[in-house]
């Protein structure tokens, strides 16, 4: 049972029509299917606006062979490989156990083909899930994932297929491992996305020098954590230049461990901020981040967190 406290109304936001008590979003893959995190002593759903569930495919997946997680300086490599019980079991057995009155829940849809993305989205469309995140940029599976996310044409085709399958808000998770993220965002907007999550992890590798082999069983994995934050902030800024004109909100994510990190993403153009690897450092970091954002609002005489979004002033302007 969660430890509830009164959320600060200045931190409440509307994201794609969803009322969120906080701009903070718990990222996919970091909190299982939601129920794992609520068991942490001191956790309160008032601290988070939404929870992104673990990446889900049409059929069950066992994931990659070990090792699947490796700590690096300033971050973490992971190559879980989308281990999950399959979309139908998630909807039938896991979603009924979640309390949708406490926070918003976002499904994370993955696939190896466009048809699989559409099929999984259709399954979640017929469920109480609040929104659907399209994972077109996973760097730690051998098929799908990066192939879709780094090609604007393929990205748009996946978004269009998912758009046909649901009327729920679609959040497209964009890959940083591509040439022109703004162009990809533009194509996804045309295809029907309602929002973006920027960014997914970067491709990385760690090598065991004694064995002369990669540490990760999948050879490569996704790098997350503070090491990628400057890249993530810049990518949010780039995407926001396209998204703002269309009223498309962004979840900025990548290396957030404190309030100052979250505020950087908001200033760069994000409307919400994802917290992932930071939860491994401090499971209750969201409460600290919210308090820090509220303090920033006080110190700068800002009425509401939404008033921060996209207020960055570039040097020389």
The 221-224 sheet, strands edge to edge: 69-72, 75-78, 221-224, 202-204
Range with the poorest average pLDDT among 150-164, 225-239, 242-256, 301-315: 150-164
Residue 141 has a pLDDT of: 46
- 3-state helix/strand/coil string of 151-170: CHHHHHHHHHHHHHHCCCCE
pLDDT average, residue stretch 109-114: 92
Pairing mode, if any, of strands 104-109 and 75-78? unpaired
Please name the residue that has the structure tokens 């996804």.
188
| Tens digits of residue pLDDT in 37-96 | 767 777 777 799 999 999 999 999 999 999 999 999 999 999 999 999 999 999 999 999
**Residue 138 annotated to the active site:** yes
How would you class 86 by CB atoms within 10 Å of its CB: exposed for 0-12, middle for 13-18, buried for 19 or more? Answer: middle
Query: What are the b/e assignments for 107-131, b being 16+ CB within 10 Å?
Result: bbbbbbebebbbbbbbbbbebebbb
Which CATH number does the domain 9-60+81-205+221-308 belong to among 3.30.200.20, 3.40.50.300, 3.50.50.60, 3.20.20.70? 3.20.20.70
Query: What are the b/e assignments for 281-300, b being 16+ CB within 10 Å?
Result: eeeebbbebbebbeebbeee
Host H or E run for residue 220 = none
What span, in angstroms and rounded, lies between the C-alpha atoms of 94 and 246? 35
| Tens digits of residue pLDDT in 152-195 | 899 999 999 999 999 999 999 998 888 899 999 999 999 999 99
Q: Which one, of 166, 224, 226, lies nearest residue 193 by Cα?
A: 166
Average pLDDT, the chain: 92
Share of residues in the chain with pLDDT > 70 (%): 93
Q: Which pLDDT band holds residue 15 (cuts at 50, 70, 90)?
A: very high
What three-state secondary structure class fits 240?
Answer: helix
Model confidence pTM above 0.85: yes
* Structure tokens belonging to residue 317: 């302007």
Q: Which one, of 90, 85, 84, 83, lies nearest residue 66 by Cα?
A: 83
State the catalytic residue, choosing from 52, 138, 162, 286: 138
């Amino acid at each position: 049972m969660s430890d509830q406290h009164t959320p600060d109304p200045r931190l409440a936001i509307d994201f794609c029509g969803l009322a969120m008590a906080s701009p903070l979003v718990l990222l996919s893959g970091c909190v299982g299917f939601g129920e794992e995190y609520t068991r942490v002593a001191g956790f309160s759903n008032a601290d988070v606006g939404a929870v992104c569930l673990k990446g889900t495919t049409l059929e069950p997946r066992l994931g990659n062979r070990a090792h699947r997680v490796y700590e690096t300086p300033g971050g973490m490599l992971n190559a879980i490989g989308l281990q999950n019980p399959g979309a139908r079991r998630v909807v039938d057995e896991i979603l009924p156990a979640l309390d949708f009155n406490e926070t918003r829940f976002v499904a994370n849809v993955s696939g190896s083909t466009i048809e699989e993305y559409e099929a999984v989205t259709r399954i979640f469309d017929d469920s109480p899930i609040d929104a659907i995140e399209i994972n077109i940029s996973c760097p730690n599976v051998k098929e799908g994932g990066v192939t879709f996310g780094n090609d604007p044409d393929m990205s748009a085709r996946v978004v269009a297929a998912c758009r046909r399958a649901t009327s729920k808000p679609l959040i497209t998770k964009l890959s940083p491992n591509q040439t022109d993220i703004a162009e990809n965002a533009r194509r996804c907007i045309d295809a029907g996305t309602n929002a973006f999550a920027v960014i997914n992890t970067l491709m990385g590798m760690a090598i065991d020098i004694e064995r002369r082999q990669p540490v990760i069983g999948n050879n490569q994995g996704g790098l997350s954590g503070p090491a990628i934050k400057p890249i993530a902030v810049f990518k949010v800024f780039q995407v926001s230049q396209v998204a703002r004109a269309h009223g498309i909100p962004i979840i900025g994510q990548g290396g957030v461990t404190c309030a100052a990190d979250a505020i950087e993403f908001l200033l760069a153009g994000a409307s919400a901020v994802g917290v992932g690897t930071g939860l491994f450092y401090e499971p209750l970091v969201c409460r600290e981040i919210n308090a820090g954002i509220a303090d920033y609002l006080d110190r700068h005489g800002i009425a509401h967190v939404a008033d921060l979004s996209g207020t960055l002033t570039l040097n020389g302007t």
